[in-house]
Every structure is written in C-alpha cells, then in structure tokens.
Amino acid sequence: MENSADSRARRGRPRKAPEAQGTRQALLRVGLRYLTEKGYSSVGLEDVLVAAGVTKGSFYYHFGSKEAFGAALIAAYDDYFRAKLTVHFRWSDVTPLDRLRAFVTDAEEGMARHGFARGCLIGNLGQEMGALPETFRDMLRGVLEGWQALLADLLEEAVNAGQLRVGVVPAQAAAFFWTGWEGAVLRAKLDRSAAPLQLFADVFFALIEGERI
C-alpha cells in the first residue's frame, strides 16, 4: 500500500527545487538593484541575466515576460519596505514621532551607504509611468496607499500621545509625507546628498507639530 505521506506529497503542484528558488531570488535581487539605480526602461533583460548568472531559459521559467518580472519586483520591494516600516513604526519603547524620525535617519544612512545611487523603486517607476505597462499603475498606487495606511496609524498614535498640533488629520498627513518623501529621495539621488531628505523631514515635523518653519 502506498504510504500516505508519499501520497500527500504528490498531490498539487510540485515544490520548486532549492536551486530554482535560489535562481528566482538572484533575479529579484539583481533586478531590485538595477531598477532602484537606473529604472525599468533603462535596464535590459540581458543586463539582469549576466549580473545574476542566469540563462534566458531559466528567466522565462520563473517570469513569463519583463512585465511579469517588473510586477514581481514591485511586490518584492513592497514586502521588503513594509517590513522595514513595521520594525520602525511598532518600536513601542519610543514615542510615535521618534519612531518616524528613526525611519528617516535609517533611510538617510541607507542611501549614503550606496553613494546615493539607489532611490526608491516605487518612486522610480512612478517617474517612468508614461513608458511602463499600464498594469503597473494600480500596483504602484496600491503600494503607496499601503505605506500611507501604516504611517496614518502611527500618526494616530501621535495624536493620542498629544504630539501633533490640533487639526492635523493623520490620513492626510501620511499622504502628504509620502508624496514629499518620494520627491526628496529623487532630489537626494540627484544631489548625492542627504540634505533634501533632512530638509523635507524638518519641514514635515514642523508642520505637524505646530512649530515655526
């Protein structure tokens, strides 16, 4: 009689071999690096394959097209960035606004580590939207709305802690933050300096805390 565990293992889709998973991760890792540096339109598939050490056949095993690859990169970047935001925003040992300041500092240090050559994948793609597959539009909007929701929750905590001036609406302030932050990241990449990030953060905190700018 067939072993029940063997029978269960054969049902459904076969599991991918560890080598296949490693290939997919290598492609995503290289793709994220290239797209945060150069953008979607400027990166050729051959560049990614050479850098990842992967054949074209292996690429198409995992991704049916460059568009599918781009969609996977958006999802992977969102997963990575949401995890980063969660670590900062749920750091309960400090006040809500100090958690946001810690995120800003971490972002500045991260860009500096890479010589300000890498920006935000979502912001980069948003700049290219006119040349991108239309399917990316809703994906990018959904990612930003997800980040805004996380920040709105944090700012709601700040309201309850008495850190924000009267009249600040967390959801609106969160949307304003990400709109301005993406522009500051782009300018930091252009200037190769953290100064645009620091300027935006200083103005944002002054606005929501009611300080004179």
Per residue in 73-97, pLDDT (tens digit) is 999 999 999 999 999 999 989 999 9
pLDDT for 212:
59
CB atoms under 10 Å from CB of 26, counted, come to 16
pLDDT for 20:
63
Average pLDDT, the chain: 89
Whether 7 shows a pLDDT value over 50: the answer reads no
Distance, in Å, from the CA atom of 156 to the CA atom of 96, rounded to the nearest integer, reads: 9
Nearest one of 125, 141, 144 to 133, comparing CA atoms: 125
Per residue in 21-64, pLDDT (tens digit) is 789 999 999 999 998 888 888 888 999 999 999 999 999 999 99
Per residue in 118-161, pLDDT (tens digit) is 999 999 999 898 888 999 999 999 999 999 999 999 999 999 99
pLDDT for 44:
87
pLDDT for 211:
72
Domains present along the chain, CATH in parentheses: 73-209 (1.10.357.10)
Let me know: does 203 contact 195? Beta carbons within 8 Å.
no
